[in-house]
Amino acid sequence: MKTLYFITGNKGKLLEAKKRFSKINFEIIQKDIGYPEIQADSLEEVALFGVNDIQKRFDKPFFLEDAGLFIDSLNGFPGVYSAYVFYKIGCSGILKLMEKYEGNKRKACFRSVIVYKGLNKDPEIFIGESYGLISKISIGDYGFGYDPIFIPENEKRTFAQMETDEKNRFSHRGKSLNKLINYIKN
């Protein structure tokens, strides 16, 4: 079995990655070493800055992932600031901001950016997106973060109402993980 390190402190992200990689006989090991998250205009910039910091301190193949919730009616907010906003106002704060919006005005996109750094290789970027709507209420017991308020396209349930394997079929992170896995397999 091969080993790959996932730089994250998020147990939910780790679980999703472990489930995906177990199908190709890879062991994912969490490495919670932290890195500065700069204020930037894109998730790619944030993730690449993190990789550049980590590669100075860690010399094994690794990847990290940055994700954000981009809400159309809020001009892409919280976007690159999703983690900060979640810790400050949570799902209930987002639902409060969305009270006056109905139907298509609740459109949103979850975006995941994975940066993989192999030994003696340039970083590779893999992007996954999941389009959907912000729900009217927070519902569901699975997942983490904004999962209880995000309903993916062609679904009636939030990510938090889906177990990990099912969520991974729809999710932004599942899509970016699939691209990373295909890259590693080839």
Please give the positions annotated as active site: 66
Judge residue 182's burial from the number of C-beta atoms within 10 Å of its C-beta, 0-12 exposed, 13-18 middle, 19 or more buried.
exposed
In one letter, which amino acid is 167?
A: K
Strands 2-7 and 26-31: parallel
Q: Which two structure tokens, joined as six digits, stand for 24?
A: 């190709």
Give the CA count within 13 Å in the CB-facing half-sphere of 117.
Answer: 21
Please say whether the beta carbons of 142 and 161 come within 8 A: yes
